């Protein structure tokens, strides 16, 4: 049975994502492969009133070049301060919401899996206005912890320290929360003798980095590692273990929760109907802000799409035979023939041809004199 073009696109999205050498490359190839698999023409952008330029993935390289190095509005002191702050203050809030046990169905029974829950990725914002629709933050009486209602529950003591700060009443029922993290930024700026205006520019760039850039890149790093382990097993390189089963269980839960098997009906005036499958990227690109996914939407943007591709690709049992790991470079690829063991990259093809000629010379040296 030959693999379908649509299934090949789903499989290639999974493979190319985990083959990426860094988060910059992974984010870009994910977006490129998602366009190929789910967005067929520009009507998508018109339907959701989107600008295709918003789809540019926010790489760390672009952030460094555009926001820092080539930013004419920044002085050399500001540029150095921003780089040093990012290097010395890596992301703080990567804590888990809950923990517990789950199970995964196997051929010989159920596997029990201990999970740590879905990571909440983010950083205490400089400003947070209380709104019952979006959750609010309340400081404890002793000032040692903050409860996020409508969000992730009470934080651990260790992580809640990052949320310590002061509430300032802005009137009209709104409060502004000046976090300890933001105070740290101002303190560093003061030591460098920056003016208030210069401090605001530095704060804006660091807020942008820690709220949007870094969470997305860290998220990509985690899920590519998890997915790589899954593909190692499914391509026959490794055996199942608790970690892989836990990842599969997560994607099974996501697939069920988002009802990715659902379809919808479109009625035409001529009395006919069309039935379309719900795709994970319907409206997905609308979850961007300055080119970045909002941290709360990272699961929707990445994990839901991965879950969809995983289920659609492996739903056809024969497709698993086309998932290969290249013997030369170690990259995953979807083979055109189930017997193929080397990928299609020019580098590997040249290497394969050289090895083939070398073997021919060894087998028949007289012919190549």
Q: Tell me: do 265 and 358 sit in the same domain.
A: no
Q: Tell me: do 251 and 360 sit in the same domain.
A: no
Enter the pTM of the model.
0.74
Q: Give the pLDDT score at 106.
A: 61
Q: Give the pLDDT score at 292.
A: 56
Q: Tell me: do 220 and 312 sit in the same domain.
A: yes
Q: Tell me: do 198 and 60 sit in the same domain.
A: yes
Note whether residue 220 is domain-resident: yes
Q: Give the pLDDT score at 265.
A: 86
Q: Tell me: do 329 and 343 sit in the same domain.
A: no
Spans of the chain, pLDDT less than 50:
92-99, 115-163, 286, 289-290
Note whether residue 160 is domain-resident: no
Q: Tell me: do 354 and 315 sit in the same domain.
A: no
Note whether residue 224 is domain-resident: yes
Q: Tell me: do 263 and 367 sit in the same domain.
A: no
Pseudo-torsion of CA 43, 45, 48, 49, nearest 10°? -110
Note whether residue 39 is domain-resident: yes
Write the pLDDT tens digit of every residue in 67-85. Answer: 999 999 999 999 999 999 9
Q: Tell me: do 275 and 344 sit in the same domain.
A: no
Note whether residue 136 is domain-resident: no
Distance, CA of 316 to CA of 137 (rounded, Å):
47
Q: Give the pLDDT score at 83.
A: 94
Distance, CA of 369 to CA of 364 (rounded, Å):
9
Q: Tell me: do 247 and 284 sit in the same domain.
A: yes
Q: Tell me: do 254 and 325 sit in the same domain.
A: yes
Q: Which domain holds residue 32?
A: 5-115+194-334
Number of domains in the chain: 2
CA 218 to chain centre: 8
Q: Give the pLDDT score at 79.
A: 96
Note whether residue 70 is domain-resident: yes
Question: How many beta carbons lie within 10 A of that of residue 211, not counting itself?
Answer: 19
Note whether residue 142 is domain-resident: no
Q: Give the pLDDT score at 151.
A: 35
Q: Give the pLDDT score at 184.
A: 81
């Amino acid at each position: 049975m030959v693999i379908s073009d649509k299934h090949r696109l789903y499989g290639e999205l999974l493979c190319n994502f985990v083959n990426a050498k860094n988060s910059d490359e992974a984010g870009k190839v994910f977006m490129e492969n998602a366009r190929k698999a789910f967005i067929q023409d520009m009507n998508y952008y018109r339907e959701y009133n989107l600008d295709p330029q918003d789809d540019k993935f926010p790489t760390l390289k672009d952030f460094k070049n555009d926001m820092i190095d080539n930013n004419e509005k920044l002085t050399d002191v500001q540029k150095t301060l921003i780089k040093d702050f990012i290097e010395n203050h890596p992301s703080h809030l990567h804590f888990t919401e809950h923990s517990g046990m789950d199970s995964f169905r196997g051929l010989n029974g159920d596997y029990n899996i201990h999970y740590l829950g879905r990571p909440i990725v983010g950083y205490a914002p400089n400003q947070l206005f209380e709104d019952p629709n979006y959750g609010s933050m309340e400081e404890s009486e002793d000032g040692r912890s903050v409860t996020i209602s409508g969000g992730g529950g009470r934080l651990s003591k260790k992580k809640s320290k990052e949320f310590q700060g002061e509430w300032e009443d802005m009137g009209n029922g709104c409060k502004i929360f000046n976090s300890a993290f933001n105070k740290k930024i101002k303190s560093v700026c003061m030591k460098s003798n920056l003016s208030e205006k210069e401090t605001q520019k530095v704060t804006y760039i660091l807020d942008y980095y820690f709220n949007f850039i870094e969470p997305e890149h860290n998220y990509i790093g985690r899920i590519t590692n998890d997915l790589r382990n899954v593909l190692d097993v499914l391509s026959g390189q490794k055996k199942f273990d608790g970690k892989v089963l836990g990842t599969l269980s997560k994607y099974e839960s996501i697939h069920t929760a988002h009802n990715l098997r659902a379809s919808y009906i479109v009625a035409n005036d001529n009395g006919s109907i069309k039935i379309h499958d719900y795709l994970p990227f319907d409206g997905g690109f609308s979850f961007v802000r300055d080119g970045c996914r909002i941290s709360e939407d990272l699961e929707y943007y990445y994990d839901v799409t991965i879950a969809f591709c995983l289920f659609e690709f492996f739903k056809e049992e024969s497709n698993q035979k086309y998932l290969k790991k290249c013997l030369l470079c170690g990259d995953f690829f979807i083979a055109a023939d189930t017997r193929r063991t080397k990928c299609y990259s020019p580098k590997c093809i040249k290497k394969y041809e050289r090895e083939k000629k070398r073997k021919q010379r060894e087998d028949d040296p007289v012919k190549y004199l």
